[in-house]
Structure formats: C-alpha cells, structure tokens
C-alpha cells in the first residue's frame, strides 16, 4: 500500500520535490477545522483552519498543497479604512505553545487552478508543510461560497 501511494503522490511533479514522505518527523503542529470556500470557475478559493503548536519553539507554516488545485499560496487580507488587499506570505508563524487561526478576513490559503469542480459536502486531502520539516495531511471540507 505504501508503495502504491508513493507512486500516486509522485505522479504530480509540481509537488513531488519538497516532501521527504517517509522521513518526516512527527509534527508539533496540529491542523483542525479545515474547510475550503469553493468558488465557481477560475475564481480562487479560500482555505481556512486552525493551527496549534504544542512545542516550546515557534513553528512556521511554509506551504500547503493538494492534488485538487494546481496552485496554493499563503495569503493575508489586510484592511485599512474601507479598502482591503491581499498580500502573499512566505510563511505564517505559529507561536510556541500557541495557536494561529486562518479565517475569513485574515490569514488564508488561496487555492487556484482547480483540477475539476469540487463537490460541496465532500472533503479533499490537503498537506501542510512546516519549518521543522514535518508535514501533516488533513481532510478539508468543501463548502459553498456562503461557507455552508
Ligand atoms: Cu487570498
């Protein structure tokens, strides 16, 4: 089973390089409550979740990937007055023994170039990569544009 999973994972060359799939240490960070706001057509979809770091050192989220989308970026929405804009982030730091929320209006993952339309109510596996070299894969719930 592991061997066939490996072959499937490496069939996506965009994601193949950075993951030491069987050598990664257990992660100090857990991911919970992950969901994706599925948008029609080519509109980017936001990804939201909570990160909890149980170690005594800060850990950075450095990347997110899923076979369901061709591109995944870390974004932060920044508001000033009546305008808001999104900036791209290299990383997002989860404080030692602390949490970091990715939520509408703040930190989020921007998923672009969906491979095919996502079914609302389904889940897709998403892999989170951290600065300590660990990776975590969790199922993310697909919700509609209203977040339901
Ligand atoms: Cu964004």
Give a yes or no: residue 82 inside a domain: yes
Q: Is 90 left (phi over 0), alpha (psi -120 to 50) or beta?
A: alpha
- What is the rounded CA–CA span in Å between residue 141 and residue 113? 18
CA of 77 to the centre of ligand 1 (A): 7
Distance between Cα 5 and ligand 1 center (Å): 31
Residue 117, pLDDT score:
86
Residues having C-beta closer than 5 Å to ion ligand 1: 75, 86, 110
Q: Is residue 148 part of a domain?
A: no
- The pLDDT assigned to 24 comes to 60
Centre of ligand 1 to C-alpha 42, Å, is 13
- The pTM score is 0.81
Residue 137, in any domain of the structure: yes
Given a cut of 70, the residues of the chain with pLDDT beneath it are: 1-24
Which CATH number belongs to the domain containing residue 103 in this structure? 2.60.40.1890
The pLDDT value recorded for residue 75 is 97
Provide the domain count of the chain: 1
Instruction: Give pLDDT tens digits for 105-144.
Output: 999 999 999 988 899 999 999 999 999 999 999 999 999 9
Give 146 Cα–ligand 1 centroid separation in angstroms.
16
Q: How much is the pLDDT for 20?
A: 52
Does some domain include residue 90? yes
- CA of 144 relative to ligand 1 center, distance in Å: 17
Domain that holds residue 110: 28-143
| 70 falls within a domain | yes
> 3-class SS at 93?
strand
* Cβ 102 vs Cβ 94: under 8 Å: no
Whole-number Å distance, alpha carbon 7 to ligand 1 midpoint, is: 31
Taking the CA atoms of residue 110, residue 95, residue 60 and residue 48 in that order, the dihedral angle to the nearest 10 degrees is: -20
pLDDT at 41: 81
Backbone angles phi, psi at 71, to 5 degrees: -145, 135
Name the DSSP class of 4.
H
DSSP for 16-56 reads HTT--TTTPPPPSEEEEEEEEE--STT--EEEEEEEEE-SS
């Amino acid at each position: 089973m592991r061997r066939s999973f490996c072959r499937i994972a490496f069939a996506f060359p965009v994601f193949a390089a950075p993951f030491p799939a069987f050598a990664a240490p257990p992660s100090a960070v857990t991911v919970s409550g992950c969901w994706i706001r599925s948008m029609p057509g080519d509109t980017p979809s936001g990804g939201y979740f909570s990160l909890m770091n149980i170690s005594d050192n800060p850990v950075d989220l450095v990347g997110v990937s899923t076979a369901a989308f061709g591109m995944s970026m870390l974004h932060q929405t920044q508001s000033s007055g009546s305008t808001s804009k999104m900036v791209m982030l290299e990383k997002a730091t989860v404080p030692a023994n602390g949490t970091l929320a990715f939520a509408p209006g703040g930190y989020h993952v921007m998923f672009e170039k969906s491979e095919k339309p996502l079914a609302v109510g389904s889940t897709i596996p998403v892999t989170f990569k951290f600065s300590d070299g660990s990776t975590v894969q969790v199922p993310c719930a697909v919700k509609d544009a209203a977040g339901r």
